[in-house]
Amino acid sequence: MAYKGKFRPHNIKKYRGNHKGIIYRSLWELRFMRYCDSTPSILEWASEELIIPYRSPVDGKKHRYFPDFWLKVKTAEGEIKESVVEIKPKIQTTPPKKRNKITRKYLKEVKTWGVNEAKWKAAEAFCKDRDWKFKIITEKDLTKY
């Protein structure tokens, strides 16, 4: 199975956006897409259709963040809730540990963490303004899906 590819939903009406252009960039995203497509409590969903502006700590400029997923879910209590979901490897969800030797790899990890943190703070504020929830899902969490 390919790590990247196009996802073809069975429940096209649930997808908000261009259902012919859904791209997964990891097997974790593919797994979550299948879950969204097949779970009755998920009323609508989208992948990388939402745009959240953020300022990068690397260059100080404004950029656009396309979170992995947007969901509209009917809870067990019958409420309709919306959320934004990002899927990331667990290792990328915490700052890199300080090292004695500064390597290119370490600098890349610091840069990635800084950009991700800026995106996630912007997403949290964006969601809070709309009474939505922002959630980061890792490979550990995907066992539930």
**Mean pLDDT in residue range 17-22:** 95
Percentage above 70 pLDDT, the chain = 99
Question: Active site includes 68?
Answer: yes
Query: How far is residue 136's CA from residue 121's CA, in Å, rounded to a whole number?
Result: 12
Name the active-site residue from 14, 29, 48, 86: 29
pTM: 0.90
Residue 88 among the catalytic residues: yes
Question: pLDDT value at position 101?
Answer: 87
Q: What is the distance between the alpha carbons of residues 113 and 42, in angstroms, rounded to a whole number?
A: 30
CATH number of the CATH domain containing 29: 3.40.1350.10
44 carries an active-site annotation: no
Domain extent, residue 104, equals 5-144
* 62 has a pLDDT exceeding 70: yes
Residues 114-144 have pLDDT tens digits of: 999 999 999 999 999 999 999 999 998 987 7
CA distance 141 to 145: 8
pLDDT-derived band of residue 98, with 50, 70 and 90 as boundaries? confident
In Å, how far are 35, 59, 62, 129 from 126, measured between CA atoms?
25, 22, 15, 5
Alpha-carbon distance 129 to 123, whole Å? 10
Annotated catalytic residue within 37, 48, 68, 86? 68
Q: How many domains does the chain have?
A: 1
Output the average pLDDT for the chain. 95
